[in-house]
Amino acid sequence: MNKIVNMEQWGLNDFIKNQISPEEVGVIGRVITEGNKIYKIMTEQGVKIGEVKGKSIYESSGREEFPSVGDWVILDRIGSENGNARIERILQRKSKLSRKVAGKRFDEQIIATNIDYIFISMSLNNDFNLRRLERYLTIVWDSMAIPVILLTKADLSTDADKKILEIERVAPAVDILTTSVVTGDGIAAIRKYLTRGITIAFIGSSGVGKSSIINYLKGESVMEVQALRNDDKGRHTTTQRQMVAISGAGTIIDTPGMREIQMMDMGESLDRTFKDIDEIAKRCKFSDCQHQNEPGCAVREALESGEIDKDRWNNFLKMKKEIDYYNRKTDKKADNEYWLKFKKISIAQRQLNKERRKKQ
């Protein structure tokens, strides 16, 4: 059979190839869209339709797992003579962007996998929100992909410089790009990241202009774009995650807008997002300082002097609480640890209060 698609452009590399033994029969492909447990998969023979049938994936991975957009998979065959191809297994992922599903359940929702850069998209006119950015950053650090902040609709903004300064304070180590599809400004800078074999995922609220940029890069209308509305409360036009290739470059995954970004077991990533706070907390007199009213608390001092912004601090606490709650709900060990720590702290606190009372 002749090859019609160059899979290297779709990101095929040694990390993936090394996971396949020479004896393994089957066809390698990359999931480009999903819907109702039916997947469109790019292969060297073009797009194939794949399904997870029976227990195939369960048997190979030892757990209930479904493919996501961005996944490399092995199909049982290329032809479609006998219906859809069967997805035999999912190859190991080098990155995985997830959040907690909305609502009361504690399940993971995978947004996309095998991504190199995640462009956190915010529009410079209506969508600007630093607290939401801190949430996005945390799930992105957790994914193992590299975050880039993409500011869109520069043509509609008069205070872009001021906003960039605010972002730099919240995310000092992250690249920031400013773009407009109306003037074309900044789009070339995206291409610098999107070299051959690289995958970028666009995330962000609905209506910020993610699909518009993909169409601009593609040079044609491959993604549906919202009809213009001035209130920015457009409906979701992008309802699915979808991966496209940009000729001469890499691939982009478009995602629908996310209303809620809820935390999972992401404590380490939270500390990375709030590295400044983490560093200051190391200067507290007690290593298990809760930054309440312990003596020698560097965090309280920094809050008073303005070194730590109060809104940023409150967002950190809120997200931390969410993570602790998730851990307690999903992991018995974390549960025990949490309560042990809690107990230790309340004992120490009681002791401290007692000593204070004695002095008075």
Ligand X SMILES: Nc1nc2c(ncn2[C@@H]2O[C@H](COP(=O)(O)OP(=O)(O)O)[C@@H](O)[C@H]2O)c(=O)[nH]1
Binding site for Mg ion (CB under 5 A): 211, 238
- In the 3-class helix/strand/coil scheme, how is 152-175 assigned residue by residue? ECHHHCCCHHHHHHHHHHHCCCCE
For residues 89 and 75, give the distance between their C-alpha atoms in angstroms, rounded to a whole number.
8
- Partner from Mg ion, Zn ion, ligand X, none contacting 60, C-beta within 5 to 8 A by type: none
152 lies in the site for ligand X, by CB under 6 A = yes
Residues 294-353 that bind Zn ion (CB under 5 A): 297, 299
For residues 119 and 129, give the distance between their C-alpha atoms in angstroms, rounded to a whole number.
15
Q: What's the one-letter identity of residue 4?
A: I
Tokens, residue 216: 């601009």
Contacting ligand X (CB under 6 A), which of 156, 164, 198, 352?
A: 156
- Partner from ligand X, Mg ion, Zn ion, none contacting 208, C-beta within 5 to 8 A by type: ligand X
210 lies in the site for ligand X, by CB under 6 A = yes
264 lies in the site for Zn ion, by CB under 5 A = no
- Partner from Mg ion, Zn ion, ligand X, none contacting 190, C-beta within 5 to 8 A by type: none
Ramachandran region, residue 314 (left: φ > 0; alpha: ψ -120 to 50; beta: rest) = alpha
For residues 342 and 288, give the distance between their C-alpha atoms in angstroms, rounded to a whole number.
11
For residues 321 and 342, give the distance between their C-alpha atoms in angstroms, rounded to a whole number.
13
Nearer to ligand X, 34 or 254 (CB): 254
Residues 157-176 that bind ligand X (CB under 6 A): none
- Partner from Zn ion, ligand X, Mg ion, none contacting 284, C-beta within 5 to 8 A by type: Zn ion
208 lies in the site for Zn ion, by CB under 5 A = no
For residues 181 and 163, give the distance between their C-alpha atoms in angstroms, rounded to a whole number.
19
228 lies in the site for ligand X, by CB under 6 A = yes
Could you tell me the smallest distance in angstroms from the CB atom of residue 296 to ligand X? 47
33 lies in the site for ligand X, by CB under 6 A = no
Q: State the number of binding residues for ligand X (CB under 6 A).
A: 21
Whether residue 30 contacts residue 11, with contact meaning beta carbons closer than 8 Å, is answered with yes
Contacting ligand X (CB under 6 A), which of 33, 43, 143, 212?
A: 212
Torsion of CA 297, 269, 174, 183, to 10 degrees: -120
Nearer to ligand X, 67 or 207 (CB): 207
**Residue 103: how many other CB atoms lie within 10 Å:** 9
The enclosing H or E element of 352 equals helix 332-359
- Partner from Zn ion, ligand X, Mg ion, none contacting 199, C-beta within 5 to 8 A by type: none
94 lies in the site for Zn ion, by CB under 5 A = no
**Residue 129: how many other CB atoms lie within 10 Å:** 12
Contacting ligand X (CB under 6 A), which of 11, 209, 250, 267?
A: 209
Whether residue 281 contacts residue 291, with contact meaning beta carbons closer than 8 Å, is answered with yes
For residues 255 and 199, give the distance between their C-alpha atoms in angstroms, rounded to a whole number.
13
Three-class SS state of 137:
helix
Nearer to Zn ion, 74 or 297 (CB): 297
Nearer to ligand X, 197 or 256 (CB): 256
* Residue 293 CB contacts under 8 Å (≥ 6 apart), including other chains: 300
289 lies in the site for Zn ion, by CB under 5 A = yes
Contacting ligand X (CB under 6 A), which of 182, 317, 340, 347?
A: 182
284 lies in the site for Zn ion, by CB under 5 A = yes
For residues 186 and 180, give the distance between their C-alpha atoms in angstroms, rounded to a whole number.
7
Could you tell me the smallest distance in angstroms from the CB atom of residue 319 to Mg ion? 26
Could you tell me the smallest distance in angstroms from the CB atom of residue 236 to ligand X? 7
Applying CB under 6 A, the residues found at the interface with ligand X are: 152-153, 155-156, 180-182, 206-212, 225-226, 228, 234, 237-238, 257
